[in-house]
Chain A
Amino acid sequence: MGANVTTQDDQAEPKRRWQDVDLRAVAPFVALALLLLLGALVNPNFISINNLANVATRSAFIALIAVGATFVISSGDLDLSVGSMVAFVASLMILFMNSGAIADPGMMIAAAIVLALVVGALCGLANGLITTVGKIEPFIATLGTMGIYRGLTTWLSQGGAITLQSAEQQDLYRPAYFGVVLGVPVPIVVVLAVTSVAAFVLYRMRYGRHVVAVGSNPNVARYSGINVDRVRTTAFVIQGVCVAIAVMLYVPRLGSTSATTGILWELQAITAVVIGGTALKGGASRAWGTICGAFILELVGNIMLLSNFISEYLIGAIQGAIIIIAMLVQRSLVRKS
């Protein structure tokens, strides 16, 4: 068309200038760098590889859950049930391992992991179906399942703890959290692997594009032939699987779970996602930013422990302040193009 119209603007790609960089995408990494600097000033031990690896390992649970939350939040939803889901999946996993259904401890652990993944996926599926088919606000739907998963855990544990009994299984399973691969703690390896997969799915796969489309405008997505409910439900299932992966690392760490496991983890996960630059109203997803956010949360706690200025009992307040600051920063850094 338009053969008789001359195009005035040059169509060649302009060079990327520094103004073109999306500030929201780099903001979390800048914040991380500043924190590292601050930490180094507070305590020289802080910046040691050992300490940082420790912090990263401890942030692994929240990081893994938050990767799943990145999908849910990018598609415009919210999952408040993840903390309870951790406790529920972990309880079932340990009870299964204690049941002695499979004699060989290696096989038993493998089967328990599969069970955890299936239960996690089913919990996510339940959240997704209640939200999409039941047409209930995700906030309310997952507030409900949060109570259900927590209640079931309390009932399973009869208010106490569920502990892994077989020492053999414990010894065999321990390296899943405490082990080291090429000098890197296993949890860090798992986090990096899961995030790589998540980033690939979000940025390089059709499903990722659908998630962002549904999150930014479900109407446009629907008019483009995208099955909006399926995309949203799948995001909840991915969240469930991510929770299960976190449980796989959690069980070998303590070999025990209780009714209070994972309390307030949903808030930390959402905080990590928001610090990472994913828009809470959907539409922009940043998998690596999320990991960075989870690391920042743990780092703040670590700095508070190592310094003597602020009581570590204030950590909750500090984390609460961080999410508010992150939102304010996100709002002010409107993308320029």
Chain B
Amino acid sequence: MASGPVGGDNIASVRGKTTAMTRDETMRSAGDESVAKAHGDIVLSAQRISKSFSGVQVLFSVDFDLRRGEIHALMGENGAGKSTLVKILSGFEQPTSGEIYLDGKSVKLPPNGAAEALGIVVIHQEFNLAEHLTVTESLFLGREVAHFGLLDRKHMRRETRRVLDMLGSRISETAVISSLTVADKQMVEIAKAISRDARIVFMDEPTAVLSREETDALFKQVRKLRDLGTSFVFVSHKLDEVTELSDRVTVLRDGQWVKTAPTSMLDGESIAQLMVGRELSSLYPQKSEPNVDEARVLSVVGLNTAHVRDAHFDLRKGEILGFSGMIGSGRTELMEAIAGLYPRISGEVRIGDQLMPSGDIHATTSAGLAYMTKDRKSKGLLLGSDMTSNLTLQSLDQHGRWGYLSPASERTALARARRRFDIRVRDAGVVAGRMSGGNQQKLLLAKVMEITPKILIIDEPTRGIDVGTKQQIYHFIAALAREGCSVIMVSSEMPEVIGLCSRVVVMRAGRIVGVLEGDEINEQKIMRYSAGLKQKAVA
């Protein structure tokens, strides 16, 4: 796309042709039996939607329809156009061309969330809740019930309780939002959608921050609402969840519609293939046998913080050590204390033989330890800055002397990082906030790797990114370990912990409750420890 507008147009037109062909074929094969049955039930449909941002086309004549009372999963790699399509279908963006039909009538959806009045609600990945309000105030925000200007608090509380009960949630209607867990906030968002009589709910990665049980609870409610006639569009990267929850699946790839089919006709493997357009032969790289004779590079003894109790563990050279457990089990807090981002109350952290001072990130960085945060948007990247400033932020010393920065040196670093981490952007000057999740994650990884760490702590390495990028990151981590770097991987996705790690530490309520090795590493074992069903003394 670098050759200017002419080149872009060419690629676009070629892509357009392929789309048209694929659509016709699939329509014939999959469409017939379902069209007759459900045609009248379509509540929202989009036809031939295209969208360009400043000359760059991101959606190519995409079709999409949503039936009454169905859960429709929208799948695709990062940058496939899912978010853009969701924004268009909810009025936050207007399509460049194409039609949207609501209840069979052509409509132009009002912008900035005003489509809520039509019963179209989006639950965003980042919550739109005011932290200081109570649950009731949040639910009734902007449509408070009042008589002669006086708020009818009692009525609003009762109504909130009713909705929460319907959802089977035990959140107090008077709780302040900031005191709620992430899962409960998600629940409040859903309650808010329901209390506004939403007929069409878009959920963008609703489970990214939820534990397994919380996810199950959420799915139960979603199914219940579906049976009452609410339609859901569910955007997720988790294939197992999509196959479990959805009724139909639509797959997008590179801004084009690839397939819409009943979920029962697909399995996780085939969806992944449709998304990527190639075989995902080996999501996880070959595990290498851990060498127990390797030197200890990191040892943690009796570490205590406000959230972590008495943590002990060692890390060997070239090892990939997994940290499993529920959200809130203290894994991130432990890692941030080790990295020196927060002070510890007591305990020792040694890198090699060197004792690390408490809460001193400079000491750990110069000792060769790098911590990659799971919060790439609020703690990892400057969303308003370009790739270069983000890449070199942690390692500016390498790019000049006496505080001077050499632009040439930084350019070289960026070119190298883009090659090494396969960061794909159309314009090298793009700000990080406009990159896709997968590219952001690669950029964050590249930034952390700029300090050439000997120990890499990577917190939720694949949160909210697509399968293809996941595979790349797994292979990168494995290659890093083979080169002698030691990796700690904190993850809530059990398959990746099982697929990559040679040893797994399980945490629960701030404590290390189990260490698994070799064949012991399986989902049941990890689950039993993290759920508190089993606990063994840890040396």
Contact = CB atoms under 8 A, between A and B. Distances in A.
Interface of A: 1-2, 5, 7-15, 19-20, 204-207, 209-210, 212-213, 216-217, 219-226, 283-284, 335-337
B445 to A, nearest CB: 9
B394 interface: yes
A12 B54 CA distance: 19
Given A14-B2, A14-B428, A337-B54, 13 more contacts: A5-B468, A204-B407, A206-B400, A213-B385, A216-B385, A217-B383, A219-B375, A219-B378, A220-B379, A220-B382, A224-B394, A226-B393, A283-B382
B1 interface: yes
Contacts of B476: 1-2
B430 interface: yes
B520 interface: no
Interface in B396-448: 396-397, 400, 403-405, 407, 415, 418-422, 424-431, 434, 447
B215 interface: no
A9 B426 contact: yes
17 contacts: A1-B422, A1-B476, A5-B468, A10-B1, A14-B426, A15-B4, A204-B405, A206-B396, A206-B403, A206-B405, A213-B385, A217-B378, A217-B379, A219-B378, A219-B379, A223-B373, A283-B385
B382 A9 contact: no
Contacts of B373: 223
A20 B430 CA distance: 10
B381 interface: yes
B249 to A, nearest CB: 24
A337 B387 CA distance: 12
The 10 A-B residue pairs with the shortest CB-CB distance in the complex, in nearest-first order: A1-B476, A2-B422, A10-B2, A224-B394, A206-B396, A12-B2, A2-B472, A206-B403, A224-B393, A223-B379
Contacts of A336: 54
Contact of B389 (A15, A20, A212): A212
B475 interface: yes
Nearest to A279: B384
A9 B425 contact: yes
Contacts of A210: 396
B362 interface: yes
A19 B397 CA distance: 33
Nearest to B393: A224
Contacts of A10: 1-3
A2 B389 CA distance: 24
Interface of B: 1-4, 54-55, 341, 361-362, 365, 371, 373, 375, 378-385, 389, 392-394, 396-397, 400, 403-405, 407, 415, 418-422, 424-431, 434, 447, 468, 472-473, 475-476, 479
Contacts of A13: 2, 428
A217 B381 CA distance: 9
A contact face: mostly helix, strand, loop, or mixed: loop
Contacts of B400: 206
A8 B423 CA distance: 11
A19 B403 contact: no
B384 to A, nearest CB: 5
A181 to B, nearest CB: 27
Contacts of A226: 393
B536 to A, nearest CB: 34
Given A2-B422, A10-B1, A225 B362 contact: yes
A230 to B, nearest CB: 11
A13 B411 CA distance: 11
B394 A11 contact: no
A198 B86 CA distance: 44
Nearest to A207: B403
Contacts of A19: 54-55
A206 B393 CA distance: 9
Residue with the greatest number of chain B CB neighbours at <10 A, chosen from A10, A14, A15, A220: A220
Contacts of B378: 217, 219-220
A318 B527 CA distance: 67
Given A20-B429, A206-B403, A223-B341, A11 B418 contact: yes
A120 to B, nearest CB: 22
Nearest to B276: A5
Contacts of A8: 424
B55 to A, nearest CB: 8
B361 A225 contact: yes
Contacts of B431: 335, 337
A283 B375 CA distance: 19
B362 A209 contact: no
Given A217-B378, A225-B365, A337-B430, A5 B384 contact: no
B382 to A, nearest CB: 5
A335 B383 CA distance: 12
Residue with the greatest number of chain A CB neighbours at <10 A, chosen from B394, B397, B418, B479: B394
Contacts of B447: 224
B435 to A, nearest CB: 10
Contacts of A207: 403
Contacts of B475: 1-2
Contacts of B394: 224-225
A209 B405 contact: yes
Contacts of B426: 9, 14
Contacts of B397: 206
A209 B391 CA distance: 12
A213 B393 contact: yes
Contacts of A20: 427, 429
Residue with the greatest number of chain B CB neighbours at <10 A, chosen from A5, A19, A205, A222: A5
Nearest to A203: B405
B384 A216 contact: yes
A8 B254 CA distance: 11
A183 B272 CA distance: 72
A213 B382 contact: yes
Contacts of B392: 209
B446 to A, nearest CB: 10
A284 B2 contact: no
